[in-house]
C-alpha cells in the first residue's frame, strides 16, 4: 500500500509528519493530492457545490489541527479522508452533529489512492462492480452510503424486509472487498 513514489514525490506519511510539525507547505501538497476525492465525495452526498466546499475545508482543517488522528499503519490517507468526508457530509445532509470524532474512525484498506491514476483505476473498478450487482443490491448500498439512510429507512423506502436489506448491504461490501483482494 505504500504511496512512496520513485519519482521523488513525498509519500503521504512524510507529508503528515511535516504537518505535525506545523509545515503549511505540506498541507498544500496534501490538498493538491486529495482535494479532488474529498470534494467529489462531498458533492456526491450533498449535491451542492457550496456545501461540498464547506466540507472540503472542514476535513482538511481537521487534518491540520489533529494529524495524529490518522494512523498510517492502517491504510491509505486517501481512503481515510474519503471516509471522513463521507461521514461529515452525511452528518451535514441529516443536519446532525458529527457522530464520530475523526480519531474514532479507524479503517483498514490496502488500496493505494495516492495518485490520480490509482484513484481512476479504483473508481472505474468500483463502478464496474456496482454495475454488475443486482439493481436492488446496488440501490441498497448507495442509499446507505451516499444518502445515509438507516436499514430501517431503506426497508421502508423499498418495501422489503429488514433482513433482506442487511443481507444485501453486507454482500455488496463483501463483493467489493473480494474484487480488490484478487
Under the binding rule (CB under 8 A), the answer on residue 92 touching other proteins is no
Under the binding rule (CB under 8 A), the answer on residue 64 touching other proteins is yes
Under the binding rule (CB under 8 A), the answer on residue 132 touching other proteins is no
d(CA 111, CA 108): 9
Residue 91: CA count within 13 A, CB half-sphere: 17
Under the binding rule (CB under 8 A), the answer on residue 2 touching other proteins is no
Q: How far is the CB of 57 from other proteins (least distance, A)?
A: 6
Residues near 40 by beta carbon (within 8 Å), at least 6 away in sequence? none
Q: What is the DSSP string of 52-71?
A: HHHHHHHHHHHHHH-GGG--
Binding residue (CB under 8 A) for other proteins from 4, 9, 51, 122: 122
Binding residue (CB under 8 A) for other proteins from 14, 66, 72, 158: 66
- Written as nine digits, the cell of 82 is 474519503
Q: How far is the CB of 14 from other proteins (least distance, A)?
A: 15
DSSP letter assigned to residue 9: P
Under the binding rule (CB under 8 A), the answer on residue 27 touching other proteins is yes
Q: How far is the CB of 110 from other proteins (least distance, A)?
A: 8
Pick out residues in 33-62 that bind other proteins (CB under 8 A).
35-41, 43-45, 49, 52-53, 56-57, 60-61
Q: Shortest CA distance to 54 belongs to which of 94, 85, 8?
A: 85
Amino acid at each position: 500500500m505504500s504511496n512512496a513514489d520513485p519519482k521523488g514525490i513525498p509519500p503521504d506519511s512524510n507529508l503528515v509528519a511535516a504537518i505535525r510539525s506545523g509545515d503549511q507547505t505540506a498541507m498544500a501538497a496534501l490538498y493538491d493530492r486529495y482535494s479532488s476525492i474529498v470534494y467529489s465525495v462531498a458533492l456526491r452526498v450533498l449535491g451542492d457545490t457550496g456545501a461540498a466546499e464547506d466540507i472540503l475545508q472542514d476535513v482538511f482543517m481537521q487534518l491540520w489541527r489533529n494529524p495524529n488522528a490518522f494512523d498510517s499503519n492502517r491504510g491509505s490517507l486517501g481512503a481515510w479522508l474519503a471516509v471522513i468526508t463521507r461521514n461529515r457530509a452525511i452528518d451535514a445532509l441529516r443536519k446532525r452533529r458529527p457522530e464520530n470524532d475523526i480519531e474514532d474512525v479507524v479503517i483498514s484498506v490496502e488500496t493505494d489512492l495516492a495518485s490520480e491514476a490509482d484513484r481512476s483505476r479504483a473508481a472505474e473498478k468500483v463502478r464496474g462492480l456496482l454495475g454488475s450487482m443486482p439493481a436492488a443490491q446496488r440501490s441498497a448500498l448507495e442509499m446507505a452510503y451516499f444518502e445515509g439512510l438507516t436499514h430501517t429507512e431503506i426497508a421502508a423506502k423499498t418495501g422489503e424486509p429488514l433482513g433482506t436489506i442487511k443481507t444485501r448491504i453486507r454482500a455488496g461490501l463483501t463483493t467489493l472487498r473480494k474484487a480488490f483482494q484478487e
